[in-house]
Amino acid sequence: MMNQSTECLDTKKNKWKKIARECFDMIVIPILLALFCSKVLIVNATIPSGSMEDTILPGDRIIGFRLAYLLEEPDRGDIIIFRFPDDESQVFIKRVIGLPGETVRIVDGRVYIDGSDTPLDEIYLKEAPQGSFGPYEVPKDSYFVMGDNRNHSHDSRFWEHQYVEKEKILAKAVFQYYPRIRMVE
């Protein structure tokens, strides 16, 4: 009798262990993987404003790759997700225009780098930009960034700290998953 009772208790304990293990596998492991991905591999961002129209629209959801700049430097034209230099509690998304050590000058809405007579070819702009700015020399290990909707973008031209330090870049925007699925360029 005693033996049968012990076997029954062991069976119940094993059943509860199996249930606990399955719950762990179904709940805890996915949560840990999601946390790892969001802290180490990706940034999940929702676009709050129209400063990057028509490339990215308000409400679009974007995935940024955190490790993109581990082995290479940001390049002109990259769309980056970064901590806003004037208030690091905010996260912004803009396009890299000026690289470290370059001089950026904007004349009648056209961007010139290092005194070039030829403006940047910016096919991604929403409309013909207006205004002038600079010249401005981008500090070492920093980037000058602007929105694609230049006439309605709060970007490097208007900030107190007119550049984004490389260490404040969170990710390179690479993929849009809502409301449509596509690569971000």
15 is a catalytic site residue: no
Q: Which of 38, 51, 156, 166 is catalytic?
A: 51
Name 144's Cβ contacts closer than 8 Å, sequence gap at least 6. 96, 97, 98, 99, 102, 104, 136, 138, 156, 162, 163, 164
51 is a catalytic site residue: yes
The region that residue 184 occupies, defined by phi over 0 for left and psi between -120 and 50 for alpha, beta otherwise, is beta
Q: Is 62 exposed, middle or buried (0-12, 13-18, 19+ CB in 10 A)?
A: buried
Q: What is the largest CA-CA distance in the chain?
A: 97
End-to-end Cα separation, the chain, in angstroms: 73
Q: Which of 13, 18, 89, 94 is catalytic?
A: 94
Residues marked as catalytic: 51, 94
